Each structure stands twice: as structure tokens, then as C-alpha cells.
Chains A and B, each alone.
Chain A
């Protein structure tokens, strides 16, 4: 199954990067992505795992349309509405939590802030300013902001880093539930393989920089309810892919 695209499911989003290089401060060029193709099946949950510095954030920024200086193209044929959870919370410091969420939502959408706050556990801080929040709480708000706009395509960049185990589990569950119901297409970057196995239905293992796809692993359904044996087996497969690259 390595590298094989999903059979039968149409692609909702496709990123083709022939070449992407960053120019460092000392004017040296660092090639981050080369001949890289990634397609996301409709309503699929794809997790990218790769070593730190391999180009995951760069790829997400290209997918989000934030980085235009690359050779290649991004295809979004159904013009899916984009929701992004950045690596840092990126809340407006001068607006309170409720306002931060409301501002991201198009005017025509129903107000679902209270519901999201309840499920993610930050109702008590809705009228606080971001400077008064712990990083963990700020991350919840940032996740809520992305879910509040009912995204067709959700991009997440290591959304659960630096959260304690219990809150991370709760957030993962809300995420799985919400995208399961809405049918959103998801691309998540993480370096936690077990987390990826728990949430995703496709796992993509990346190499060191410049990032190449070492393995594309389709996970057995149902998403989110893998047995320990399943998880162990997939983990072994990931390790094998990473070892062959090294």
C-alpha cells in the first residue's frame, strides 16, 4: 500500500511542489521541498510525520496560500473553505477570547462559540484577553477558531504540543468528532506517531530535509478506535520506513 493513492475516493486538494527553497539570512539557499506531490482524499484525515526541520510547516504554509514563492501549484477544485491551526496560537492580543473566535467567522454563519467553548473546556475564559491565558488554553481557543468556521479543509500544525496528556486527549476527541460529522478534509502535521495513528486514516512518513514521502500508510477503519495490536503494527511499519531512509 506504500505510496498508492486511495482507490475510488476523489481528491479534494492537491499540492505539487516541484521546488521550494528558503533563502537563509546569510543568503545561502536551503532546498526544503523537491518533486513533492501530496493529494488529500475527500473527507480524509491525513497525518504528516517527519523529523523536525524537514519542511512540514513550509508545506502547510504553501497549502494555506501563505507562501507563494515556490515552483509548483496548489489545486483546490471545490474551493473548500480553509481553517488553520497554526503552530503558535496567533490570537489577536487586543481582542478577548470570544471576539477572537467571532472575528474569524463569516457574518452569515450561526454563532457556535458557546458550544465549542463548552466542548473544548474554556467557557470560563471567554471574556479574558489572550495575555491572561496559559499556552494550553490559547491552543484550545486557536483550535476552536478554526472549527468555528466549519472548514472544508482543515490544516493543523502540531496542534497539541505542550498540552498535558488529559487535555490533549480531550482536544483530539473533539477534533475527531467535529471533522467526522462535518466531513472536512484534514491535513495534520505532528511528530507524535501514536497521536497520528489515533486520529488519521492516512499516515505519511517524511524523510529528512528536503522532505520526501517515505511511506503512505492507509490505516484500517474505524478512525480513532484502533486496537493496541493495530497501533503496534503500524508503529513498526513507520519505524521500518524511517530506517530504510537512514
Chain B
């Protein structure tokens, strides 16, 4: 309730400010909603969002799967941890922009380079978070599984993943928001389509209405994924926890 009110107030202030300013640089919410409608009907917006969503989906999945495997290995095997730790630290501290530029320079201005750039930016976060989870695993339960001869698959499903789940949820949550943002930069710098590309061209044309239309839809979409995707997963993973009364 409070949240809805807060949003309504924000839009009201915006409306008033836009009416007072009467500037091309600050369109009213109504103008923007109109533009969104036009863009959707023309098929332009759905296409650009599909391009971006596709990149987000692929990059997120690759980074997540790779990061989970590497992070678990590092958390469980000290030698692996010592070997890869410097790499992870370097990747963590490399500015996203540098990674993107070198991906385009070395691989070329293509889709692979775009995905690699996003994955490399996201990977170290997933690794560090998963490693934390793998280190915190319960040795008593591992012994129980050993004594009762759990198969590798049973161990994965009933021992490893449930213990990693809270960490994976953290990685997914923070991961999704970083990937979204980095994909836009990647598109801005070297792709002929996608939301980032549209924002770039609109910027050079000073088309503030279009920029705001795409930005608003983008935020709405991120919130949708958060509410419909991430939160239900977290609730499911936390089912067994003692309920607070």
C-alpha cells in the first residue's frame, strides 16, 4: 500500500514539474505512456526487448552454471581455491567497460563477444557467493550421506543443492540486476539492436521521450522478473526453515 502511494506521489510530482517546465527534455508521464503504446503497436519495442532479453538469458545462464561449478569446486577443494583465487580477484576488480572493450577488440563486434563480455563481468560474483556456500556445508550431513551410500545424484539433489540454494538465490538476485545493466552497455557499444542500442541512438537524437519510454519499460520488466521469478524460488527453497511465530 505504502509503496503504491509512494509511486503515485512520484508520478504526481513528475507531472507537475513537466507541466511547469514545458521542456522537450522533461516530457509528462502521459506523453511517455503514449510513446510506449506506439512503440509496442509498431512491434519496435517488443523486438528490441526480445534482443536484450535473449542476451540477458543466455549470459545469465552461462555465468550462473559456470560460476556455480567453479565456486563449488573452490569452496570444497583448497588447491583449486588457491589456484583460481588470484584470477577471481583480478576479474572482480576489472572495470566492466574494460572487459567489454577487450572482448570486442579480441573477438570482434559480434554476438559471441557480447555474451563473453557479460559473462566475464558476472562470473566472479557468482563464484565468490557460491564458494561461500560451499565452504559452509555441513560436515555431519556429508558423513551421514557417505555412511548411507548416497549416489552422486542423490548427493547433488538432496545434500549439495539445498545447502547452496540460499547462496544461489543471492547470486541470482544480485546477478540478474548486474547482467541487465551490463547488457545495456554492451549493446550500446557494439550491437545493432537491443534496448541499449535504442538508448544510444535516442541519446544522439536527443529523443528524451523515447529514452524514458524504454527505461521505464525496462525497470518494469526487471521488477516483473524479480517478483515472478526470483521471489517464488526463494520461498520454495526456504520451505523447510522453522517458521517464526
| B241 located at the interface, meaning its Cβ lies under 8 Å from any Cβ of chain A in the complex | yes
Q: With a CB–CB cut-off of 8 A, which chain A residues contact B88?
A: none
| CB-based contact A103/B240 at 8 Å | no
Main secondary structure of the interface of B (DSSP, over half): helix
| B144 located at the interface, meaning its Cβ lies under 8 Å from any Cβ of chain A in the complex | yes
| CB-based contact B240/A94 at 8 Å | yes
The one of A88, A96, A131 in contact with B241, judged by C-beta atoms closer than 8 angstroms, is A131
- Bound-state CA distance A82–B149 (Å) is 9
Interface bracket on A: 20 to 34
For window 48-71 of A, CB contacts with B under 8 Å fall at 64-66
A92-B148 contact given A103-B154, A131-B241, A131-B242, CB 8 Å threshold: no
| A149 located at the interface, meaning its Cβ lies under 8 Å from any Cβ of chain B in the complex | yes
Count chain B residues whose beta carbon lies closer than 8 angstroms to a beta carbon of A. 17
The one of B140, B148, B240 in contact with A131, judged by C-beta atoms closer than 8 angstroms, is B240
| CB-based contact A93/B240 at 8 Å | yes
For window 213-245 of B, CB contacts with A under 8 Å fall at 239-242
Q: With a CB–CB cut-off of 8 A, which chain A residues contact B143?
A: 64, 66, 86, 90
| B141 located at the interface, meaning its Cβ lies under 8 Å from any Cβ of chain A in the complex | yes
| CB-based contact A92/B141 at 8 Å | yes
**Which residues of A approach B to under 8 Å, CB–CB?**
64-66, 82-84, 86, 88, 90, 92-96, 103-104, 106, 129-132, 145, 149
The contact sample of 20 A-B pairs, CB cut-off 8 A, is A64-B143, A65-B147, A84-B144, A84-B147, A86-B144, A88-B140, A90-B141, A92-B141, A92-B144, A94-B158, A94-B162, A95-B162, A103-B150, A103-B154, A106-B149, A129-B239, A131-B240, A132-B242, A145-B148, A149-B148
